[in-house]
Amino acid sequence: MKRFLALGLAAFLAMTAVLTGCSSTPEKIRIGEVTRSLFYAPQYVALEKGFFKEEGLEVELSTIPGGDKVMAALLSGGIEVALVGSETSIYVSQQGAADPVV
């Protein structure tokens, strides 16, 4: 009886762990890019082909001209991902930001 109960509990916990990652509402991610660029082509293809949606992500892509404006949007919480040159994060770090941008 104890063995049956233990197996049932283990199966329940395993199923709970698997289903916890499943969600019917997609997670929204806002991406800001400094410019339309060939460097970001894989992202454009993934958006067009629906790969993000298949993974439960709703991606909102916006072009924000100017690395400083993209970084301001990231630091203020307007976007979750910033696609800019690496020098932009160096500028933020040099200004003594408490929250480093990686």
Residue 5 in any domain: the answer is no
Q: What is the mean pLDDT of residues 10-19?
A: 53
Alpha helix positions (H), 31-81: 41-49, 51-54, 67-75
Residue 26 in any domain: the answer is yes
**Helix, strand, coil percentages in the chain from 3-state DSSP, rounded to 5:** 50, 15, 30
Q: Please report the sign of the dihedral spanned by the C-alpha atoms of residue 60, residue 66, residue 72, residue 75.
A: positive
Residue 12 in any domain: the answer is no
Residue 9 in any domain: the answer is no
pLDDT tens digit string along 15-63?
545 545 565 688 999 999 999 999 999 999 999 999 999 999 999 999 9
Residue 81 in any domain: the answer is yes
Q: How far apart are the first and last CA of the chain?
A: 53
- pLDDT top residue among 7 and 100: 100
Structural domain boundaries, residue 54? 22-94
CATH number for the domain spanning 48: value is 3.40.190.10
pTM to 2 decimal places: 0.69
Residue 36 in any domain: the answer is yes
- Pick from 40-44, 75-79, 83-87: least confident: 83-87
Could you give the number of structural domains in the chain? 1
